[in-house]
Amino acid sequence: MGRYDIARKIEGMDPERDAIAICHLLAGYEFPWDITRALEVALLRTFCVPSIAKLLDHTGEFQHHTQKRYDDTGIIVSELFKWGYEHPRGQGFLQRMNAIHGRFPITNSDYLYVLSTFIYEPVRWCDRFGWRPLSKPEKQAMYYFWFAVGERMGITEIPDSYDRFEHYNQTYEQAHFTYAAANQRVADATRSMLLGWFPVGLRSLANTAIPALLDAPLLNALGWQPAPAPLTQLLRQSLQMRSRLLRKLPPRTLPDFFADQSIRSYPQGYNLSDIGPTSFKQAIGSNKQTYSDAAKKQP
């Protein structure tokens, strides 16, 4: 396979009709690492909205079960990218997410904003740091994919085009990004979790570097200080060097979905009923198969 074979394959697909297949290729083959990083930025952006952060802060999940909350979100998104929202497996995880969210008073506008971050943060990240930018059909496919997910979540008034939804994303941030103590508490808990992934000797440097790729409105809303300019420049240059290197490598032939990897909260694998707050005992579906193990055996 040539480096751009998958990109050329996607160019021949229909962004709306083939949205599931296109997003499967993007998340599993073309940009697995990049999309995961972009969704981490998306998570931080949701903390900048006090109505969202206060709810997360109230549940205590981000303070007491930070890694599990992160992993559960990653698993659900990954299962959807891998299987799609029409496959029984994807439907199971989507239903689980709906059941968890249904316990809390979440406004439609907040749902819409969170949904929009799943589209536009991966697009922006790949445009900045991916080994190639996303094409227009790929961007449209991301929109149609998450539009369909949003409908299945019961979200209403989803803007009817990629551009209109991006405008919603931007104007919502301008209107709602503001500092609140709850924002900082859930963000600080997430930051501590991220630091725990690094060896002890590197944690101080990592702590300084975490804000390097984050914009000023986000940092202000979280109460975080920006990274030193030289470190920011170094990190950006490193990511750009990575993208140039990846362009010279052969394409991925095996998928690398988040759900296929070793997951910190579930070293022995997970069941659908494991997903969600520890106090949430309702199971959706009766299949007790260890899903992450099964996923490694599937295309």
Contacts of 266 (CB under 8 A, 6+ apart): 71, 274, 292
User: pTM (2 decimals)?
Assistant: 0.92
Amino acid in position 248: K
Question: pLDDT for 232-272, tens place per residue?
Answer: 999 999 999 999 999 999 999 999 999 999 999 999 999 99
DSSP state of 267: T
Separation CA 242–CA 132 (nearest Å) = 11
Q: What is the DSSP letter of 16?
A: T
pLDDT in tens, 3-37: 999 999 999 999 999 999 999 999 999 999 999 99
Of 131, 129, 271, nearest to 213 by C-alpha is: 129
For 283-297, write each residue's pLDDT tens digit.
434 444 444 444 443
199-227 pLDDT, tens digit per residue, is 999 999 999 999 999 999 999 999 999 99
Q: What is the mean pLDDT of the chain?
A: 93
Tens of pLDDT, residues 97-112: 999 999 889 999 999 9
The pLDDT of 129-134, averaged and rounded, is 97
Can you give the C-alpha Rg of the chain in angstroms?
A: 19
Contact at 8 Å (CB) between 28 and 81?
yes
